[in-house]
């Protein structure tokens, strides 16, 4: 009697990871395009070439890699690409050039506060954090702005200018709450 070989169950094909970035859906096959441990920051920078976000510390401590996911600021170095499956990501490249936050950062040069950027390395992270902050709270006090930006680091020390730029972006400078 011939021995019947056991039929192997066909390996279940994993669905691709689908992520919408700046309005456009992308698909990534796990094991082919990305690995299970691929970070969202790596995917955005190296696979999709959205190099505005920066990976400075790569451990959640500086905010340079901040992007907006479903309306909330997230540290893309601390998220796995697979965790973004089915979600919507906005990077700084997805903002229009006349975005009020971008404009406010670019124009900030007020005496007593200084500029909002010198080398600009931290700027995309600050801008995206500020965008999410103002979307959630369109009229924050200076204290709320400082608190909201407290996870972002600027090695050039432009903190006063950055906070002032965010106040200008929401048209709230000096109109509510605490003084600088």
Residue 170 CB, nearest distance to ligand FES (Å)? 21
Minimum distance, C-beta of residue 108 to ligand FES, in the bound complex (Å):
11
- Applying CB under 6 A, what is the total number of residues that bind ligand FES? 22
Q: Tell me the residue length of the chain.
A: 180
The yes or no reply on residue 163 touching ligand FES (CB under 6 A) is no
Selected from 36, 71, 86, 120, the binder of ligand FES by CB under 6 A is 120
What are the backbone angles phi and psi of residue 108, rounded to the nearest 5°? Answer: -65, 120
In the numeric block, the tokens 């204290």 are attached to 143
CA torsion, ordered 121, 123, 128, 134, to nearest 10 deg? 160
Stretch that binds ligand FES, among 3-11, 96-104, 134-142, 148-156 (CB under 6 A): 148-156
C-alpha count within 13 angstroms, C-beta hemisphere, residue 68: 23
What is the phi-psi region of residue 68: left when phi exceeds 0, alpha when psi lies from -120 to 50, beta otherwise?
beta
In the chain, what's the furthest Cα-to-Cα distance?
94
CB under 6 A: which stretch of 10-18, 26-34, 61-69, 131-139 binds ligand FES?
A: 61-69
**Residue nearer to ligand FES on the CB measure, 146 or 176:** 146
User: Are residues 116 and 165 in contact, defined by beta-carbon separation less than 8 angstroms?
Assistant: yes
* Beta strands 17-21; 88-90: pairing state: parallel
Q: Of 81, 102, 158, 163, which one interacts with ligand FES (CB under 6 A)?
A: 158
Interactions with ligand FES, residue window 73-102 (CB under 6 A): 75, 77
Q: Using the minimum distance from each CB to ligand FES, give the nearer residue, 64 or 170.
A: 64
Residue 156 engages ligand FES in binding (rule: CB under 6 A): yes
Q: How far apart are CA 140 and CA 173, in angstroms?
A: 10
Q: Which of residues 36-55 bind ligand FES (CB under 6 A)?
A: 55
Q: Note the residues at the interface with ligand FES (CB under 6 A).
A: 55-58, 60-65, 75, 77, 117-122, 154-156, 158
């Amino acid at each position: 009697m011939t021995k019947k070989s056991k039929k192997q169950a066909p390996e279940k094909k994993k669905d691709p990871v689908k992520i919408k970035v700046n309005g456009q859906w992308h698909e990534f096959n796990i094991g082919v395009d990305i690995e299970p441990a691929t970070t969202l920051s790596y995917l955005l920078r190296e696979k999709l070439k959205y190099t505005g976000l920066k990976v400075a510390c790569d451990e959640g401590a500086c905010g340079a890699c901040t992007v907006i996911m479903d309306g909330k600021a997230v540290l893309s170095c601390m998220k796995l690409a697979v965790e973004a499956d089915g979600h919507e990501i906005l990077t700084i490249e997805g903002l229009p050039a006349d975005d009020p936050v971008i404009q406010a950062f670019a124009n900030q040069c007020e005496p007593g506060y200084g500029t909002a950027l010198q080398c600009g390395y931290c700027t995309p992270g600050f801008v995206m954090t500020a965008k999410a902050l103002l979307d959630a709270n369109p009229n924050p006090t200076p204290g709320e702005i400082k608190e909201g930006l407290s996870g972002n680091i600027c090695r050039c020390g432009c903190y006063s200018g950055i906070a002032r730029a965010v106040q200008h972006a929401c048209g709230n400078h000096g109109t509510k709450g605490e003084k600088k």
